[in-house]
Structure 1
Amino acid sequence: MREILRQMGRSGMILAGFAMVSVLVVAATYHGTRERITRAQQQALAMQLDTLVPPARYDNQPTADTLQLRDAAFGSDSEGTVYRARKAGQPVALLTTIVAADGYAGPIQLLVAVNADGRLAGVRVLSHKETPGLGDAIDIERSNWISHFDGRSLDDPAEAQWKVKKDGGVFDQFTGATITPRAVVKAVHRFLEYERDHRAALYAAEKTR
C-alpha cells in the first residue's frame, strides 16, 4: 500500500512538473508572440497613415505623438486615438479612426486625415460589412468614390451640401445603395466639425515634466 502511495506521489510530482513546464513555455511563447504582433500592428498602422499623409510632410513620429479622446465625434463609445504629424514642431495634420455607426450592414470604420488648415488629406475605409457589389464601393480597392473627400473642408462644400446628391448634397450615392455613402459622409462631416472646434487642443504639444 505504501509503495502504491509512493508511486502515486512520484507520478503526481512528475505531472506537476510537466504542467509547470507547459505553463512556462506557453507564457514565454505568448510574450514573444505578443511583441511581434504589436510591432506588426504598429508597422501596419504607420503604413496606413503614410497613405494619407506622406512621410515627407512631417519629421516627427505620429504613432508616438498621440492623444486618447472619447467623444461622440468618433462614432464609438470607446476611446479614439489621434495621431499628430508635425514638421519643425509645427502642426501638419492629424489622423484618427472614426466609426460610421449607421452603415447599411453595420458599423463602418474609417481612417480620417485632416490637414492643419482644416482640409481633408484623405479618408480610407478600414473595415466594413457592406453588400458586395453595392455598398462596398466605399472601399478604395473597389472604386475611387472615397477619394472625393480629398481637399474637402467644412466650407467646401457648404454645410447644407455635406450630403449625398439624393439628399441635396454634392456627394455621389451608389445605385441601389444610398445608406452606405450617406453614413460615411455624415461621419466625416461630424469629425470635421469636432476638429474645427478643438483644433488648438488637438495639436497642443505634450506637456513635459
Structure 2
Amino acid sequence: MSNPVLRNGLILAVFAMLCTAAVSVVNKVTEGKIAEQKQLQRLKVLEQIIPMQIHDNNLVTSCRAIVEPKALGTEDAVSAFVAFKKEQATAIAIEAVAPDGYNGNIKLIVAADKSGKVLGVRTLEQNETPGLGDKIELSKSDWVNSFNGKSLRNTSTKQWKVKKDGGEFDQFTGATITPRAYVKAVHKALNYIHSNFDMIVRQSQKCGDHHE
C-alpha cells in the first residue's frame, strides 16, 4: 500500500479490533470467576444458617426468585433457597432488605424451618457506622445469633422490637436505628416465610431467570 496515511489507518483499525477482542475475552473470564466466587460465598452463608442434618440437596441451585416489596423491603427480585430432606421441603432461607438503616439499605438473609422457627440470620451487605452499627456483622458481634430459635409463636409482635421500644432485642450503645431496622426486616421476612412456605417451594421462577 503506497499511501502511508491509509496504511497507518488500517494498522490502527486492526490494532483497535484486537484490543476490543482482548478486552471482551478478559471480561468474559472475569465475569465467570466473579460469579463462581459469589456462588461459593453464598453457599458458605447458607451452610451457616441451614444445618446439614435437615437437608440433602444443593442449596444454591435450589433457588427461587421472589418479588415481594412490602415483606422483603425491595422492588427487586430476591433469592429464596429451599432446603429439602428426602424430597420434602424442610426450610427456606430468603434474602431481604432493611431499607431504613442508619446509612441506607442493609441486605440480609433469614433462614426458617417449616414450623416458622428462625434457624439463622446473616448480614450480606451493609454500610453502617464502623464500631457502632456494623455490629450486625457476625465478625463484629454475635448479636445476629439472638434471632436463633425465635418464631412467631414464642415471640409476640410486641417483642419483635429492640428493648428501647419495649421489645426483647438488644440495641447497640450509641446506635439504635440500625438494630431497630434490622429486627423489623427479620420479623417481616419471617412472617413472609411462615405465611408462604408452600408457595415459595412451588415457585416456578428460578434465580437464573432474573438479574441479581
Can you give the 5+ residue segments of structure 1 that lack an aligned partner in the other structure?
Answer: none
Q: How far apart are residue 193 of structure 1 and its match?
A: 1.3
For residues 33 and 67 of structure 2, what CA distance do their matches in structure 1 show? 28
Residue aligned with 1:101, SS = strand
Q: Which of 181, 194, 197 is equivalent to 1:196?
A: 194
Whether contact under 8 Å (2:114, 2:194) holds in the other structure is no
Per the alignment, residue 117 of structure 1 pairs with 115
| TM-score in terms of structure 1 length | 0.91
Question: Which is greater in Rg?
Answer: 1
Aligned to 2:99: 101
Q: State how 1:79-158 maps to structure 2 within 5 Å.
A: 79-158=77-156
Structure 2: which amino acid aligns with 1:13?
L
Does the CA-based 8 Å contact 2:81-2:94 persist in structure 1?
A: yes
- What TM-score do you get using the length of structure 2 for normalisation? 0.90
Match of 2:12 among 7, 10, 15: 15
Higher relative contact order (CA 8 A, sep 6+): 2
Query: What CA RMSD, in Å, does the superposition of the two structures yield over aligned residues?
Result: 1.8
Q: Deviations over 1:138-197 (max 9, x none)?
A: 221222111010011111211221111111111111222111111111111111111122
Alignment partners' CA distance in 1, 2:41 and 2:201: 24
Say whether 1:173 aligns with 2:160: no
What is aligned with 1:64? 61
**What runs of 5+ residues in structure 2 fail to find an aligned partner?**
206-212
Offset of residue 52 of structure 1: 0.8
- Superposed, 1:12-51 pairs within 5 Å as 12-51=9-48
Aligned length: 204
